[in-house]
Amino acid sequence: MLFKPISQNFNDFVIDRDKERCINCEVCVRQCSYEAHFWDDARQCVMHDNTKCVGCHRCEALCPTGCLTIKKNPADFRDNALWTPTYMKHIYKQGDTGGILLSGMGSPSAKPIYWDNLQLDASQVTNPSIDPLREPMELRTYLGSKPDKVEVEETPEGPRLKTKIGPQIKLEYPMMFSAMSFGSINFNLHKAMAMAATELGIVYNTGEGGLHPTLYKYGANTIVQVASGRFGVHKDYLNAGAAIEIKVGQGAKPGIGGHLPGEKIDEEVSKTRMVPVGSDAISPAPHHDIYSIEDLLQLIYALKEATEYRVPVSVKIAAVHNAPAIASGIVRAGADIVVLDGFRGGTGAAPTMIRDNVGIPVELALAQVDNRLRDEGIRNWASLVVAGGTRCSADVIKAIALGADAVYIATSALVAVGCTLCGRCYTGKCPWGIATNEARLKKRQNPEIAAKRLTNLVKAWGHEIQEMLGGMGLNSIESLRGNRDKLRGIGLNEVELDILGVKHAGR
Amino acid sequence: MKAPSNFWNFEKDISGCGVFGVIDKQKNLINGTMPINAMCTMHDRGNGLGGGFAAYGIYPDRADEYAFHLMCDDQAALDRAENTIKEYFEISVSEPIPTRKVLSVKNPPLMWRFFVTPKERRPKWEELSEQDYIVSVIMLINQNGGAFVFSSGKNMGAFKGVGFPEDIADFFRLDEYSAYIWTGHNRFPTNTPGWWGGAHPFTILDWAIVHNGEISSYGINRRYLCQHDYLCTMMTDTEVVAYLLDLLIRKHGLSYEMASKVFAPPFWDEIDRMGAEDRKVYEALRMVYGSGCLNGPFAILVTDPNTMMGLNDRAKLRPLVIAEKDSMVFMSSEESSIREVCPELDRVWAPKAGEPVIVKVEA
């Protein structure tokens, strides 16, 4: 019998401590919430236990002498193309526990990333590129249902609008902070997102965990989410935001609900979610009042009634095989915004098998949904937003060229405040103070500093988008939206090109 | 309409150009030699791969009938087109478009014109308005291949082809026509071998458009139009402009002024500074018609039987000069071309970026 489970023998990371530089200051001991570092009384020095290391790099980042390096465990199994260490370790774990494998953050699997196979265009000679430092370069975007046409009455005082335009979300950048519930991440980051969104003129999404009372003042820059668990949903909450989002599915875990472990539910989370402290908050897989599209229609209109038609209603689905038909139904059911969440979208916790094997790349879903809505002549009726795995401004601009109105970013927002994608969000012990509600850990995120970093990120991407847009000879984002002529595929086959609706480079 | 398969796989036409237009507000007729001479002055703005003219008021005897100008690859294509036209229209005149042999114009297609009225009992599309019906038939003929309807208005016509505008004018004997509105175009395509149908003006129904520029938003403009049942078959920017005008002005009932604000919308910071009522209008136009914005450098002249409009893109990346003399208004890429045909002018100015100049006939 082994003295500890097999799964712990084959640890993923090793901690390399340069003993000459280590001053035994114990910063690493205090920083590591997984207790990989500890004070060894017998030896009178700091020691570590590699098996506990999750590879978050917190100790490495904070070590005052730079004596720590976190490395992948070099211990090799015999080479086997089929049985890679990942799969073996999964099995060791399941042999230990009999449970479902759990993961945090989006799928790391090596599946095609279509963003990387798309190249943008630039102007040469026949039309001038535009320099955003000298000329206006417009990114403003309105999300919501638009009528098919505008009626204007010419009066002696000037033109007067006769058409009534439904409620819209006004965005100064075609980006939003995606749904991360209060509970899955802590209050400090919710506040930071609210502050950053307000500063930037964009919106953030509350996720399914309700809205903390002190954040209601940021309502104009908030999308309030209604998910299957209905956590924290009440009339004031619905009326607090600039829009309501019905979360039907999440890219990281299509087809299943959510599970916020009781460890993450403290007093504040409990009050906001309206669930008891320490109890698991479980969102059912489906909405139990939506078993079909006509039920969705009823929920959409129930929410519109509850808010007196003042705010747009968004419906978020995971990108799955029949996304175009589903999206068409959603638009016809009265949604003002459709969100497609790809399988690379982040999560606080998802069953590993589902995260890595369910759903389709959002690039393909986006292209097909945009086509479908245009083919049916209903593209104006709803805005299209994509989420899930946009890593940089180029991904954002490619999404827009494929047909998205705006992009949700979440993982990149977390990376901006320190996340290293160690993928252990579900433990509630995030050493970076992100996916944790432990007082000692969450104070590692200062809302003001985090807000500044989020603001910087979106502004930086905004500048880059402006540069690329100007390079293509365009000076407003709406002229890029759905303009796939500005994209070319590289290394894609005929079918992929046809699905994406782009020509191959060289053509 | 559902986008046809492979809709994304197209090659867009890229060209630079010179444009000229003149309108007489009193509807006094102007002989074709004036626009021809004006275009000659701007010879260097083209490369001999496209020239053309549009003229209003040229068929006064048949002003109530639609004048279809067709270019056909061969007699068989013309016969096919004629059969289609017969099916949907009553033909009152079927004749060749008068041309003369010109050395520099090589291998011209077969040029034919029909004066038609829609059949009382339509074989199809009974529910459409008369104009939509005509557009539908034209789309049908143009998609069938071989024959191409390049002009379809009443009491007006387009004349265009591969060559310098002065050669095309010579070919079509335009010195024998007089009109109260003329537009001319000289083309500098960079990626097409020169197709007769690809020359300007582009017309549909009574609209005619000449255009200098490259519309960088083409990809989305084209998809937007497809949603509204316009199938862009010619891969030119100008076709997009024509269909958008038809959609915005004829179908959606916007004024020229408002349509021009769709093409060249005010910047958001300008809109933010407007009064509440104006702001609502311009905000709505940009929200709803964002996909119709013509982004990229352009100067266009748009004409219908009562109007000539000149418009620049909102950053004024292409030249456009306006001049007035008595009841005539000129619009051109170059002042020199106006001075060539009318040395003494009452007023000359360059309109601001995105600000339309709209001239209506008064007679």
Distance CA B106, CA B85 (A): 28
Nearest neighbour of A149 by CB, restricted to B11, B214, B288: B288
Q: Give chain A's mean pLDDT.
A: 95
Whether residue B15 is predicted with pLDDT greater than 80 in this model: the reply is: no
Is A271's pLDDT higher than 80?
yes
Contact A474 B216 (CB under 8 A): yes
Place B20 in a pLDDT band, splitting at 50, 70 and 90: very high
- What would the pLDDT profile of A333-362 be if each residue is shown by its tens digit? 999 999 999 999 999 999 999 999 999 999
User: Would you call B17 a catalytic residue per the annotation?
Assistant: yes
Q: Is B117 strand, coil or helix?
A: strand
Which of A473, A480, A485 lies closest to B12 in CB terms? Answer: A485
Segment holding B41, helix H or strand E: helix B33-41
Q: Which residues contact A132 (CB under 8 A, 6 or more apart)?
A: A463, A466, A467, A469, A470
Q: Is the pLDDT of residue B143 over 90?
A: no
Is residue B223 predicted with pLDDT exceeding 60? yes
Asked if A498 lies within 8 A of B315 by C-beta distance, the reply is no
Q: How far is A477 from chain B (nearest CA, A)?
A: 9
Binned at pLDDT 50, 70 and 90, residue A57 comes out as very high
- Please report residues of B whose CB lies closer than 8 A to that of A371: 3
Alpha-carbon dihedral B345, B351, B355, B361, rounded to 10 degrees: 10
Q: How far apart are CA A163 and CA B88, in angstroms?
A: 36
Q: Is A475 on the interface with B (CB under 8 A)?
A: yes
What number is the average pLDDT over the span A203-218?
96
pLDDT confidence of residue B199: 86
Mean pLDDT of all residues in B172-200? 87
pLDDT recorded at residue B363? 72
> Cβ–Cβ contacts within 10 Å for residue B177, how many?
21
3-state secondary structure A106-166: CCCCCCCCHHHHEEECCCCCCCCCCCCCCCCCECCEEECCCCCCCCEEEECCEEEECCCCC
Order across the sheet with B298-304: list the strands.
B202-204, B207-213, B298-304, B307-312, B357-360
pLDDT of residue A115: 97
Q: What number of other Cβ atoms are within 10 A of residue A122's Cβ?
A: 12
What integer pLDDT is reported at residue B193 of this predicted model? Answer: 63
pLDDT class of B17 with cuts at 50, 70, 90: confident
**Strand residues in A152-248 grouped as ranges (E):** 152-155, 158-161, 169-171, 175-177, 204-205, 222-226, 243-247
Locate the domains of chain A by residue range. 6-99, 141-504
Residue A1 has pLDDT above 60, yes or no: no
B contacts of A154 (beta carbons < 8 Å): 255, 257
* pLDDT > 70: percent of chain A: 99
The minimal CB distance from B219 to the residues A157, A158, A483 is found for A483
A483 touches chain B (CB under 8 A): yes
CA–CA gap between residue B188 and residue A114 (Å, rounded): 37
Q: Is the pLDDT of residue A2 over 60?
A: no
Q: What's the pLDDT score for residue A8?
A: 76
Interface of A with B in 55-114 (CB under 8 A): none
Per-residue model confidence as pLDDT tens digits over A413-468: 999 999 999 999 999 999 999 999 999 999 999 999 999 999 999 999 999 999 99
Q: Does A379 touch chain B (CB under 8 A)?
A: yes
Which residue is closest to A379 within chain B, CA to CA? Answer: B227
Instruction: Report in angstroms the alpha-carbon separations of A253 from A191, A358, A365, A394.
Output: 26, 7, 16, 25
Find which of A479, A486, A495 to mutate to test the B interface (most B CBs within 10 Å of its CB).
A479
pLDDT mean over B19-37: 96
- The reply to whether A122 touches chain B by the CB within 8 Å rule is no
- Our CA-based measurement puts residue A377 at a distance from the nearest CA of chain B, in whole angstroms, of 5
Does A479 contact B267 at a Cβ distance shorter than 8 Å? no
Whether pLDDT at B344 is above 60: yes
Q: From the list A159, A472, A501, which residue is nearest B8 (CB)?
A: A501
pLDDT in tens, A77-92: 999 999 999 999 999 9
- Largest pairwise CA distance in chain B: 61
The predicted pLDDT at position B229 comes to 87
Cα nearest neighbour of A125 on chain B: B16
- DSSP 3-state of B106: coil
Please check the confidence at residue B278 and state whether its pLDDT lies above 90.
Answer: yes
- Yes or no: say if B259 and B302 are a contact pair by the CB < 8 Å rule: no
pLDDT at B235: 74
Chain B CB contacts of A157 under 8 Å are 277
Residue B192 confidence class, pLDDT cut points 50, 70, 90: low
- Asked if A478 is an interface residue toward chain B (Cβ–Cβ < 8 A), one would say yes
Segment A129-173, tens digit of pLDDT: 999 999 999 999 999 999 999 999 999 999 999 999 999 999 999
Residues of A in contact with B2 (CB under 8 A): 375
Q: Is A484 on the interface with B (CB under 8 A)?
A: yes
- Strand pairing category for A102-103 and A350-351: antiparallel
ipTM above 0.90, yes or no: yes
- Which residue in B8, B216, B291 is closest to A503 by CB distance? B8
Whether the Cβ atoms of residue B30 and residue B178 lie closer than 8 Å to each other: yes
Per-chain mean pLDDT for chain B? 92
What are the chain B neighbours of A146 within 8 Å (beta carbons)? 287-288
pLDDT above 70 for A483: yes
H runs (alpha helix) in B145-275: 165-171, 218-227, 237-245, 256-263, 268-273
Q: Is the minimum CB–CB distance between A494 and chain B shorter than 8 Å? A: no
Percent of chain A having pLDDT more than 90?
Answer: 92
Residues from chain A that touch B273, judged by Cβ atoms under 8 A, are none
Could you tell me which CATH number the domain at A6-99 has?
3.30.70.20
Considering only alpha carbons, which residue of chain B is nearest residue A121? B216
> Rounded distance, CA A205 to CA A200, Å?
14
pLDDT score of B43? 92
Over residues A288-302, the mean pLDDT reads 95
Topology, domain B15-58+155-360: Glutamine Phosphoribosylpyrophosphate, subunit 1, domain 1 (3.60.20)
Q: Which one of B1, B2, B5, B8 makes the best mutation probe of the A interface by having the most chain A beta carbons within 10 Å? A: B8
Confidence of residue B139 (pLDDT cuts 50, 70, 90): confident
Q: Give the residue on B whose Cα is nearest the Cα of A478.
A: B290
pLDDT at A174: 98
Ranges of beta strands (E only) in A330-468 are 337-341, 350-351, 383-387, 406-409
Q: How far from A424 is each of A52, A56, A132, B126, B162, CA to CA, in Å?
A: 12, 9, 41, 65, 67
Q: Which of A474, A481, A482 sits opposite B296 (nearest CB)?
A: A474
Taking residue A452's Cβ as centre, other Cβ atoms within 10 Å add up to 17
For the segment A304-323, the average pLDDT, to the nearest whole number, is: 97
Superfamily of domain A141-504: Aldolase class I (3.20.20.70)
Q: Are A224 and A215 in contact (CB under 8 A)?
A: no
Q: Hey, is the C-beta of A482 within 8 angstroms of any chain B C-beta?
A: yes
Nearest CA in chain B to A141: B287
Distance CA B231, CA A296 (A): 35
pLDDT value for A127: 83
Distance from CA of A128 to the nearest CA of B (A): 8
Angle, nearest 10°, between helix axes A362-375 and A393-402?
A: 30
B214 and A165: CB-CB below 8 Å?
no
Closest CA of chain A from B155, distance in Å: 29
Q: Bigger pLDDT: B135 or B55?
A: B55
- Residue A409 pLDDT greater than 80, yes or no: yes
Report in angstroms the alpha-carbon separations of A326 from B223, B224, B330: 22, 22, 54
Q: Which residue of B has its CA nearest to A161?
A: B281
What is the least distance, in Å, from the CA of A322 to any CA of chain B?
18
Of B219, B265, B268, the CB nearest to A484: B219
Range B95-107 average pLDDT: 92
Predicted pLDDT at B214? 84
